[in-house]
Amino acid sequence: LTLLRAGQSYRDASSNQMLQTAKLVGQSVSNELRATVHIVDHHLPIHGVAMPSSETLFDGQFASVTIKTGDVSNRSDQRLALASKAAETGKVEISNIFFPTGELSKPKVAIAAPRAKTNVGTDVSTFVVEPKNLVHTLIHEDAFSRTQLLAVTDGNGRILARSREAEKFIGTLAPDWKTLKAFNQPSGAFEARTIEGPMVMFAFHEIPGTPGWVAVVGEPLSAFNARWRRPIEVMLIGSSATLIAAF
């Protein structure tokens, strides 16, 4: 009974460790977004004049647009639709992944920051960029556990960043997204089967200030179980050795 309780305690500790990693990834992404939003909000000139260094600094597209009061003609353009939303809410808005010219085009993310209201409407600064040039948190593969996979998804389950093979997976739908959303919680952990078949332990944390972006940590269930069971196995060996010595 004592070993069973100890086992559950070790398992819970391992699960919480994964959850803390997801929270740290989420916090790092939040910091990156705040830095980018600050630049969009404070340093972009008005009236469509982009910063000279914008292309080399972020490899994204800065622009400015005036959203006329009551104008709803911009809804079909993702950038302009986000700018319209920012003008309505009066705060910075961030998009999920979108494909400007269809599914075969490169995935993009947009940021829109309302600036000044005029008698015509609201001036809004926008920034459109590929996810890989916006979220750099997971770019250093060697900094993370070899058994764990870290990722950031948008509010629709599309991958924004990944600790391994990012170029291959950015813009694709994350497996088990529906299972994650079924929790209806800002953070948690669960077991699920991947498309490839093996069972995986997942921990996730929703990133505040985004339209449902989520930091996710995944680890093969076999590796996860081996990690928390190792101390129990050591305890069992120790107990067995003590019993043998007693006789």
Residue-level pLDDT at 46? 46
Type of residue found at 231: P
Residue-level pLDDT at 61? 87
pLDDT in tens, 81-93: 999 999 999 999 9
The stretch 20-33 carries a mean pLDDT of 95
What is 19-81 written as a DSSP string? HHHHHHHHHHHHHHHHHHHHHHHHTSPSSS---TTHHHHHSSEEEEEEEETT--TTTTSHHHH
Residue-level pLDDT at 53? 38
Cβ contact 175:10 at 8 Å: no
Residue-level pLDDT at 55? 40
Residue-level pLDDT at 43? 58
Tokens of 10: 């070790």
pLDDT in tens, 187-214: 999 988 765 668 889 999 999 999 999 9
pLDDT in tens, 207-229: 999 999 999 999 988 888 876 56
The stretch 65-80 carries a mean pLDDT of 80
Q: Which of these, 58, 19, 40, 45, lies nearest to 201 by C-alpha position?
A: 19
Confidence of residue 59 (pLDDT cuts 50, 70, 90): confident
| Residue 209: strand, helix, or coil | coil
Type of residue found at 61: Q
Tokens of 13: 């500790």
Confidence of residue 239 (pLDDT cuts 50, 70, 90): low
pLDDT in tens, 45-56: 544 444 443 443
Burial class (CB in 10 A: 0-12, 13-18, 19+), 30: middle
Burial class (CB in 10 A: 0-12, 13-18, 19+), 89: exposed
